[in-house]
């Protein structure tokens, strides 16, 4: 089977920018992406969005069409609807495409797998009607549907963004219930120097907050004891605000307290990760080119650590430069020359992050949920179960996986992994690094046995 110079997994900003630049520099590039259209989650559906929706979603979103257009115009092979389920040694990549198993080989790989919403296990979070805020925005971007009288819960500027977009769509949220406290903001001011370098973000944030206020959407900050009530589906949200119990009736709840790198593919390759205390998540160990400690594998975009769309674009290009240089398409001096402005732009974009991380920390109650709260949605394992198995000697998440089944379901631990690590670290008095994370194996996403069997003794991939 022919070996591609570079296979990019994920067609969000990092993947698209990397693929386009690498192709321009002469590399044979293939992009594999799960979605029907390129753009990732941030620019989801941007190529088909209507004019009225564009207006609601704003320039930061429609700007993504610049990247999808470049991707289409280049001589990149782009497989949409391609679900990668295994990446093996020598970079044999197995994926599902059009209902069949396919395989390609790669010389270099760029993982541009983006972010996931940080799991927010609170009582009732598995009820129908409770979704991630990202899901709410995807509904708007891709499908043009918006929730009426939704309640937005958690922390972070993304809540303001989706709230203003909902206001713009004529369906303002019933309430925005925020978990960050005044003391978080005060603590964040020590990062204000950096934040001022990222002043356009701060200006945008303040503008969004005033828009929400103007639309008379009630905002509560410092909320605690948040729970979702409902028989069979979400009916109301309860919380404590200024020592008073509040209840807001609602059919839709959007949860958000930050996003975290989607590290599944990277972990399946054995790439080292470390705990990032600022981002409260694991991030892969990378050099400034996005190169991992597994030879030939690069990571760019939010999967490398949360930075947002612009950072993803620059980081994708930096990785492309390094790959092009390694494969002798450009010289080291060419690489370095092009990298200089990219690094400068990247640093500027990252400047605001420490401030945002400090001002909008994850919701503490969801990092260490009450005993009865489900943490593993698939196998329905509670926080109390994890604590109980810690007492039975489980030091790490692979042991609680065996003991409690947490992480064994179809989502493969994507929405319980960080919680289980945090619970075990807390119970055993160890750090997240000492506690570790799930061993991720194939299939990265479920695949039918029929499809697998059809690949038995496959000498050539059906794809080319």
Partner 1 sequence: MNNASPFLELESGPRVDITWDGKPLSLPDGANLAAALLACGIEVFRSTPVSGAPRGPFCMMGACFDCLVEIDGVTRQACMIEVKNGLDIKTINVPRAPNA
Partner 2 sequence: MESDYTIIGGGIVGLSVGWGLLQRGRTVTILDGDDGSFRASRGNFGLVWVQSKGMNQPRYAKWSQQSAEIWANFANEISDNTGKPVPLEQNGGLDLHFSEASLDSTVQQYEKLKAQLGGDYPYEVLGHNALRRAEPHIGPKVIGAILHHQDGHANPLKLMVALAADVRRLGGRVVSGKLVTKVTKQGAFCITCTDGTSISSDKVILSAGLGVAQLGPMMGFKAPIRPQRGQVLITEKLPKLINRPSLIARQVDEGGIQIGATNEEVGLNDRETQPGLSGLAAEAIAAYPALARAQLVRSWGALRILSPDGLPIYQESEDMPGAYLVTCHSGITLAAAHARLLPDWLESTNAAPDLEVFSEQRFAVS
C-alpha 375/C-alpha 406 separation (Å) is 8
Q: Determine if 458 is a binding residue for partner 2 (CB under 8 A).
A: yes
Q: Which is nearer to partner 2, 51 or 449 (CB)?
A: 449
Q: Is 400 in the site for partner 1 (CB under 8 A)?
A: no
Binding partner 1 by CB under 8 A: which of 4, 191, 251, 267? 251
Least separation, in Å, of the C-beta of 97 and partner 2? 15
Write out the two tokens for 267: 């972990």
Among 58, 60, 129, 276, binds partner 1 (CB under 8 A): 129
- Tell me whether residue 54 or residue 434 sits nearer to partner 1 (CB atom): 54
Give residues 86-125 in contact with partner 2 (rule: CB under 8 A). Answer: 86, 88-89, 92, 94, 103
**Cβ–Cβ < 8 Å for 94, 86:** yes
| Residue 327 engages partner 2 in binding (rule: CB under 8 A) | no
* Residue 296 burial (10 A CB sphere; 0-12, 13-18, 19+): middle
> Judged by CB, which is closer to partner 2: 182, or 453?
453
In the complex with partner 2, the residue whose CB is nearer, 347 or 402, is 402
Nearer to partner 2, 228 or 394 (CB): 394
**Structure tokens belonging to residue 183:** 């003391």
Residues sharing a CB contact under 8 Å with residue 451, sequence separation 6 or more, in sequence order? 96, 99, 100, 101
Number of residues that bind partner 2 (CB under 8 A): 41
Which are the contacts of 185, defined by CB distance < 8 A and separation ≥ 6?
A: 359
Name the minimum Å distance from CB 36 to partner 1.
6
Centre a 10 Å sphere on the Cβ of residue 154 and count the other Cβ atoms it contains. 29
The answer to whether the beta carbons of residues 267 and 438 sit under 8 Å apart is yes
CA distance 153 to 30: 39
> Euclidean distance between the first and final Cα of the chain, in Å?
9
Which of 94, 142, 373, 382 touches partner 1 by CB under 8 A?
142
**Whole-number minimum distance, CB 297 to partner 2, in Å?**
15
As a whole number of angstroms, the distance between CA 48 and CA 30 comes to: 23
Burial class (CB in 10 A: 0-12, 13-18, 19+), 316: buried
436 binds, among partner 2, partner 1, none (CB under 5 to 8 A by kind): partner 2
* C-alpha to C-alpha distance for 429 and 425, rounded to whole angstroms: 6
Q: Which of 230, 239, 216, 302 is nearest to 266 (CA)?
A: 302
CA dihedral for 158, 161, 164, 168, sign (positive or negative): negative
Considering the complex, state which of residue 290 and residue 413 has its C-beta at the smaller distance from partner 1.
Answer: 413
Q: Which of 30, 165, 179, 252 binds partner 1 (CB under 8 A)?
A: 252
Nearest residue (CB) to partner 1, 53 versus 322 = 53
Site size toward partner 1, by CB under 8 A: 49
Residue 453 binding partner per list partner 2, partner 1, none, with a CB distance cut-off of 5 to 8 Å that depends on partner kind: partner 2
Among 5, 28, 70, 117, binds partner 1 (CB under 8 A): 117
Shortest separation between residue 303's beta carbon and partner 1, angstroms: 13
Q: Does 410 bind partner 2 (CB under 8 A)?
A: yes
Kindly tell me which of 148 and 428 has the beta carbon lying closer to partner 1. 148
> Cβ neighbours of residue 424 under 8 Å, at least 6 residues apart?
386, 390, 394, 395, 396, 397, 400, 430, 435
Is residue 398 within the footprint of partner 2 (CB under 8 A)? yes
Residue 165 · residue 54 · CB < 8 Å? no
142 interacts with, out of partner 2, partner 1, none, CB within 5 to 8 A per kind: partner 1
Helix (H) or strand (E) holding 427: helix 417-428
Which chain residues interact with partner 2 by CB under 8 A?
86, 88-89, 92, 94, 103, 389, 392-399, 401-403, 405, 408-410, 412, 435-436, 439, 441-443, 446-450, 452-458
Which chain residues interact with partner 1 by CB under 8 A?
34-36, 41, 50, 52-53, 83, 116-117, 126-132, 134-135, 138-139, 142-150, 169, 171, 232-233, 251-252, 262, 377-380, 409-411, 414-415, 445-446, 448
């Amino acid at each position: 089977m022919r070996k591609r110079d570079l296979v990019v997994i994920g067609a969000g900003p990092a993947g698209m920018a990397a693929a386009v630049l690498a192709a321009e520099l002469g590399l044979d590039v293939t992009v594999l992406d799960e979605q029907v259209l390129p753009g990732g989650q941030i620019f989801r559906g941007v190529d088909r969005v209507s004019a009225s929706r564009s207006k609601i979603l704003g320039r930061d979103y429609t700007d993504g069409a610049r990247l999808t257009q470049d991707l289409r115009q280049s001589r990149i092979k782009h497989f949409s609807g391609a679900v990668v389920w295994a990446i093996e040694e020598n970079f044999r990549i197995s994926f599902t495409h059009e209902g069949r198993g396919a395989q390609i080989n790669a010389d270099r790989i760029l993982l541009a797998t983006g972010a996931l919403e940080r799991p927010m296990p609170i009582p009732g979070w598995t009820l129908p009607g409770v979704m991630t805020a990202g899901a709410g925005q995807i509904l708007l971007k891709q499908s043009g549907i918006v929730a009426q009288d939704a309640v937005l819960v958690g922390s972070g500027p993304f809540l303001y963004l989706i709230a203003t977009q909902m206001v713009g769509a004529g369906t303002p949220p019933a309430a925005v219930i925020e978990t960050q406290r005044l003391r978080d903001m005060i603590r964040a001011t020590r990062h204000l120097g950096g934040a001022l370098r990222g002043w356009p973000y701060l200006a945008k944030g303040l503008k969004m907050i005033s828009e929400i206020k103007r639309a008379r959407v009630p905002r509560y900050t410092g909320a605690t004891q948040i729970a979702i009530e409902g028989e069979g589906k979400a009916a109301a949200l309860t919380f404590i605000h200024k020592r008073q119990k509040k209840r807001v009736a609602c059919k839709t709840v959007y949860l958000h307290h930050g996003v975290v790198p989607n590290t599944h593919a990277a972990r399946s390759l054995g790439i080292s990760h470390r705990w990032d205390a600022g981002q409260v998540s694991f991030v892969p160990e990378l050099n400034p080119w996005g190169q991992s400690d597994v030879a030939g594998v690069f990571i760019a975009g939010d999967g490398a650590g949360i930075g947002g769309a612009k950072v993803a674009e620059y980081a994708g290009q930096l990785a492309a430069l390094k790959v092009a240089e390694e494969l002798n398409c450009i010289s080291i001096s060419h690489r370095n020359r092009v990298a200089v402005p990219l690094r400068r732009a990247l640093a500027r974009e990252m400047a605001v992050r420490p401030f945002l991380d400090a001002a909008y920390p994850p919701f503490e109650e969801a990092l260490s949920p009450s005993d009865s709260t489900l943490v593993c949605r698939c196998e329905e394992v509670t926080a109390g179960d994890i604590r109980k198995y810690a007492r039975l000697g489980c030091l790490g998440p692979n042991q609680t996986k065996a003991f409690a089944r947490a992480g064994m379901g179809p989502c493969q631990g994507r929405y319980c992994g960080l919680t289980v690590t945090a619970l075990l670290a807390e119970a055993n008095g160890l750090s997240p690094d000492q506690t570790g994370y799930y061993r991720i194996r194939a299939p990265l996403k479920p695949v039918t046995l029929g499809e697998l069997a059809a690949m038995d003794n496959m000498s050539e991939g059906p794809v080319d």
